[in-house]
Amino acid sequence: MSATATTTDIFPQGDKGPADYFTGTAWIKILVPKDETGSYSVGNVVFEPKTRNNWHTHPAGQILLITEGKGYYQERGQSARLLSKGDVVVIPSNVEHWHGAAKDSRFVHVVITNLKDGSAATWLEPVTDQDYDALPTR
Amino acid sequence: MSATATTTDIFPQGDKGPADYFTGTAWIKILVPKDETGSYSVGNVVFEPKTRNNWHTHPAGQILLITEGKGYYQERGQSARLLSKGDVVVIPSNVEHWHGAAKDSRFVHVVITNLKDGSAATWLEPVTDQDYDALPTR
């Protein structure tokens, strides 16, 4: 268990996110590995403060449902979008982006990840500390 | 706003569920009408205590993510399953079932509804008061 896990969490914490494509500490719980049509998976991701995933793309898109905390979603070349509970992000296919927690808050979202030929994501380089530290906090 | 809505809600309350296929008061918020692959919609449903939907089927299945409260899921001919925060229900295609709130609790779930030829559900008869009142409360 993480020291910051609380009883307000909806889903079990799950397993630690791989260091290969997270900076910081994230927890991933797979809720449905593949729906009956084979179109998507469903999971829950918890980001500890300052934690974010690498830049990446999805071959068929992904949907984020923010359930707790504060965080960011940023597409390459665009300003970061500040996110909080109740926000929904529809990530188009093949758009380079990252998401993760604010500097002073955990961040929790459900992910619906569309699958294409068995692939869910293509991982790229980490978001640098320089870029992350420069993000606006409001 | 419903008198029982609270600030713990994750998503906006949305619109009142149609009396044609709800017994009691439900609130439906569509979050994503159709994902980019056209495979599914995403929404949030709030059931006030004692509220349930009619018996129904989904042509390509549905997934429920329970985020708050207590409720039921029942397939025809089976015992009702008691549900609470963090439970996930994978509803197979073409299985007659209903879901709804416990007698003494609101019940909130995200729904991922698979689409088939533009259809999301086939609605049948209401769950009778006799059947609902006979459900175990634990």
DSSP-derived secondary structure letter, B131: H
- Quick check: is B117 in a domain? yes
| Half-sphere exposure for B2 (CA within 13 Å, toward CB) | 21
pLDDT tens per residue, range A12-43: 999 999 999 999 999 999 999 999 999 999 99
Contacts of residue A70, Cβ cutoff 8 Å, sequence gap at least 6? A82, A83, A84, A101, A102, A104, A105, A107
- Quick check: is B7 in a domain? no
What's the number of domains chain B is made of? Answer: 1
- Asked if residue B53 lies in contact with residue B119, where contact means CB atoms within 8 angstroms, the answer is no
Q: How far is A128 from chain B (nearest CA, A)?
A: 30
pTM: 0.94
pLDDT tens per residue, range B26-64: 999 999 999 999 999 999 999 999 999 999 999 999 999
| Residue found under tokens 């409260």 | B69
Give the domain range for residue B75: 21-133
Percent of chain A's residues with pLDDT above 90 = 92
- Quick check: is A8 in a domain? no
- Quick check: is B11 in a domain? no
pLDDT tens per residue, range B75-112: 999 999 999 999 999 999 999 999 999 999 999 999 99
Chain A CB contacts of B31 under 8 Å are: 65, 88
Nearest Cα to Cα of residue B54 among B8, B87, B18: B18
Decide if A83 touches B, using CB distance below 8 A: no
Within 10 A of B41 (CB to CB), how many other CB atoms are there? 18
To the nearest 10°, the Cα dihedral for B107, B111, B117, B123? -10
- Quick check: is B60 in a domain? yes
- Quick check: is A94 in a domain? yes
Within 10 A of A10 (CB to CB), how many other CB atoms are there? 19
Q: What distance in Å separates the CA atoms of residue A138 and residue A134, rounded to the nearest whole number?
A: 12
CATH of the domain at B49: 2.60.120.10
Do the Cβ atoms of B114 and A60 come within 8 Å? no
User: Which amino acid is it at A92?
Assistant: P
- Quick check: is A92 in a domain? yes
Complex-level ipTM beyond the 0.90 threshold: yes
Structure tokens at A126: 């980490």
Q: Over the range A59-90, which residues count as b (16 or more CB within 10 Å of their CB) and which as e?
A: bbbbbbbbbbbbbbbbeeeeebeebebebbbe
DSSP-derived secondary structure letter, A70: E
- Quick check: is A99 in a domain? yes
Decide if A67 touches B, using CB distance below 8 A: yes
pLDDT of B15 over the 80 cut: yes
Chain B CB contacts of A33 under 8 Å are: none
